[in-house]
Amino acid sequence: MTRLLASVTSVEEAELVLRAGADIVDLKDPALGALGALSLTRIRAIVETVDGRRPVSATVGDLPADPDLIARAVNDTAATGVDFVKVGLFEPEYFDQCLHALAYHAATGVRLVAVLFADRPPYPDVVARVADAGLKGVMLDTADKTGGGLRRHLSMTELSAFVAAARARGLLTGLAGSLRMADIGPLLAADADYLGFRTALCGGHARTAAVDPAAVAAIRACLPRTGHYETINIDMDSHDDRRIGRIDMA
């Protein structure tokens, strides 16, 4: 079942999306980039407000491929009590330079989600490398929010194959990237664990605008509802060696 990931910037927005039925509360600052990070103080306040009612994820920011910098950001973000820490791997060199640092944190119990970008260069062996590093999930997003949504960059065949390959490796899966209501129907066929939204929750305004309750309700109505909110079991042990389009997944 595909669930709703709602990106918020404040305690007030978190409460709003919780009331609307979001399945995971995602924390980011869209004014600071594709994966702009909120302050640690604000993350802690939102975690306290959510109080276990839903899983909470938070991004570490649009960081350079510096393993020490990324490791510190992961450590600090995890210490706030979020359920998942999201790390953007913006270019292939992030895998070569930073994946070992993420593997170390994953081994200590931090539940990490790698965020990849459909509008950036291809990623070699992406699913296998993320899974072998011990990360818990992988999402596809877009880095340039002015360059069109996810489906402009990858076909439904590619997106479905990406989700299938990641799931076969036991990874939690998500699709995001300037998604609109019109994207929901086609993307449900890919069967990702989550579809992620920000701009569409702001009533058609800029992604830096406030979340609009009516827009959240409209998006929520287009997605299946679940009767519980436990974290999806992501401990499967299977493999998939397929390769697709611009994203190399073996």
Longest dimension (CA), the chain: 43
Domain ranges of the chain: 3-221
Q: What is the model's pLDDT at position 205?
A: 76
List alpha helices for 178-240, DSSP H: 181-188, 213-221
Q: What is the model's pLDDT at position 217?
A: 96
| Active site (catalytic) residues | 28, 86
Interatomic CA distance for residues 16 and 95, integer angstroms: 36
List alpha helices for the chain, DSSP H: 11-20, 40-50, 67-78, 92-107, 126-132, 150-153, 156-168, 181-188, 213-221
* Number of residues that make up the chain: 250
Residues of the chain below pLDDT 50: 228-250
Q: What is the model's pLDDT at position 233?
A: 41
Q: What is the model's pLDDT at position 124?
A: 74
Domain 3-221 sits in CATH at 3.20.20.70
Q: What is the model's pLDDT at position 245?
A: 37
